[in-house]
Amino acid sequence: MSSTQLVVVGGGPGGYAAAFYAADLGLSVALVDTELNPGGVCVYRGCIPSKALLHVAKLIDESRHAKAWGIEFTEPKIDLDKLREFKNNVVKRLTTGTGQLGKARKVNYIQGFAELLDAKSLRIKKTDGSEETLTFEHCILATGSTPAIPPMLKVDDPRVMDSTGALDLPDIPKTMLVVGGGYIGLELGSVYATLGSAVTVVEMTPGLLPGADRDLVDILARRIKTLMKAVLLNTRVTKMVAAKEGIRVTFEGEGVKDGQTEQVFDRVLVSVGRRPNAKMPGLDRTRVKVNERGFIEVDEQLRTAEPTIFAIGDVVGEPMLAHKASHEGRVAVEVIAGENAAFHPQAIPAVVFTDPELAWAGLTESQAEKEGRAIAVAKFPWGASGRAVTLDRTDGLTKLILDPTTERILGVGLVGPGAGELIAEGVLAIEMGANATDLKLSIHPHPTLTETMMESAEVFFGQATHVYRPKR
């Protein structure tokens, strides 16, 4: 039996960030995960491989649009094996890197599956077949999440995939159904559509990306509609059966036209959400509580009801995002190290890496409406951005949500190419308590899309250089 000051279960962006930080602070740390190296869902089968594929999809898309700029490419030949290899190499490079970073810090990385024995020890069934029992002063559970597949959409057939299966890129199906109009479905659906599949997206709510402001989503939806074969809103899948000719899917709702309730697809991607991995064996031997939504319950310091055990990342709640997990990991470590830290961000950015990208942080307009909160909204359309015009991408919008009295920036929403990078300025502005004047007076480089942030602050004062508003 060996002992450690801290053991982290789960080597995703939450777990490895926590383990590395704890080692930097001088704690003895063990990190347990079933994979060869740290990385978790994010690096092995989430954020990273999906973005590698989206990068390639964007290139294909641009090559098709280049004709309008006077350059004509022939239709790209797609070598799926090479594409898969590129994506796998990206994953390998990053996971090898995290492995090396852990080793350099003397983090004891144990490849295996952990089971809690009590509030002070756990047993690891190692991948090499052996077992190890470890006692700890503190434990951080960072066990993440897995795709949620409702029983009705569970079909035991390889043609029905979750996000992990879709990232494997088994082929480019002629037809594909994406069940769920959230960010994972739209990102992966965009990859397949750009590679040549006729993709249908079905979403049971009235709009794509529930949660994001509609004016932003509308701009993305326009492009998605041209990329996909069909987008069926207010429509649900009621039945899915594997047949010889494909997956036979029955629909109900507004998307059903001319009584055609049934369609057959070569492949189906089910991306209707993720469920937390809160059923870790042995958890019932501790006082850790799981709430009615299936998440491990924690307070602002990421403490569970068991004083020695903390939990972070997807397993403790929404938003299920890598950067939220990492930040929580660092807070938990600081608390364990005796600091009076808490997880209390003003803004957690969310990015949809479609084309155009969509991003927001802090208060949204719809949230403010729901809360009956008085806000001011300043919008800068990218048609007025010199940089957007040079890129031939004026399908963008930058908007600020402000406190009308203090002029403080409470939220930022963006849609357009590169929105995922631009949102970081919004996060900083919100976290620093910046107001519209701060943003207006900060000189932004020209010609860049970042100017849209500055000019939306100018819009707030009715003084934007590139937007003329007649005086009332």
Ligand X SMILES: Cc1cc2nc3c(=O)[nH]c(=O)nc-3n(C[C@H](O)[C@H](O)[C@H](O)COP(=O)(O)OP(=O)(O)OC[C@H]3O[C@@H](n4cnc5c(N)ncnc54)[C@H](O)[C@@H]3O)c2cc1C
- Tell whether residue 333 is a contact of ligand X (CB under 6 A): no
Measured in whole angstroms, how far is the alpha carbon of residue 415 from the centre of its chain?
16
State the nearest-atom distance from the C-beta of 37 to ligand X, in Å: 10
- Tell whether residue 15 is a contact of ligand X (CB under 6 A): yes
Of 6, 7, 8, 9, which one interacts with ligand X (CB under 6 A)?
9
**313-332 residues near ligand X, rule: CB under 6 A:** 313-314, 320-323, 325
Our CB check for ligand X shows the closer of 86 and 113 to be 113
Our CB check for ligand X shows the closer of 181 and 313 to be 313
State the nearest-atom distance from the C-beta of 306 to ligand X, in Å: 16
**277-296 residues near ligand X, rule: CB under 6 A:** 277, 280
Our CB check for ligand X shows the closer of 94 and 436 to be 94
State the nearest-atom distance from the C-beta of 58 to ligand X, in Å: 14
Of 95, 145, 235, 301, which one interacts with ligand X (CB under 6 A)?
145
**30-69 residues near ligand X, rule: CB under 6 A:** 32-35, 40-42, 46-47, 50
* Catalytic residue check, 323: no
Closest to 14 in 3D by CA, of 293, 272, 245, 319: 319
Structure tokens at 22: 């704890």
State the nearest-atom distance from the C-beta of 453 to ligand X, in Å: 21
Our CB check for ligand X shows the closer of 19 and 335 to be 19
SS3 232: strand
Output phi, psi for 157, to 5 deg.
-155, 130
**77-116 residues near ligand X, rule: CB under 6 A:** 113-114
- Tell whether residue 142 is a contact of ligand X (CB under 6 A): yes
Write the single-letter amino acid at 40.
G
State the nearest-atom distance from the C-beta of 154 to ligand X, in Å: 18
# residues near ligand X by CB under 6 A: 35
State the nearest-atom distance from the C-beta of 207 to ligand X, in Å: 20
Our CB check for ligand X shows the closer of 173 and 381 to be 173
**151-210 residues near ligand X, rule: CB under 6 A:** 163, 184
Our CB check for ligand X shows the closer of 187 and 451 to be 187
Our CB check for ligand X shows the closer of 143 and 200 to be 143
State the nearest-atom distance from the C-beta of 333 to ligand X, in Å: 13
Q: 66: which strand partners?
A: none
The residue annotated as part of the active site, out of 138, 327, 446, 466, is 446
**397-426 residues near ligand X, rule: CB under 6 A:** none
Residue nearest to ligand X (CB): 144
- Tell whether residue 362 is a contact of ligand X (CB under 6 A): no
Give residues in contact with ligand X (CB under 6 A): 9-15, 32-35, 40-42, 46-47, 50, 113-114, 142-145, 163, 184, 277, 280, 313-314, 320-323, 325, 353
User: Annotated catalytic sites, by residue?
Assistant: 446
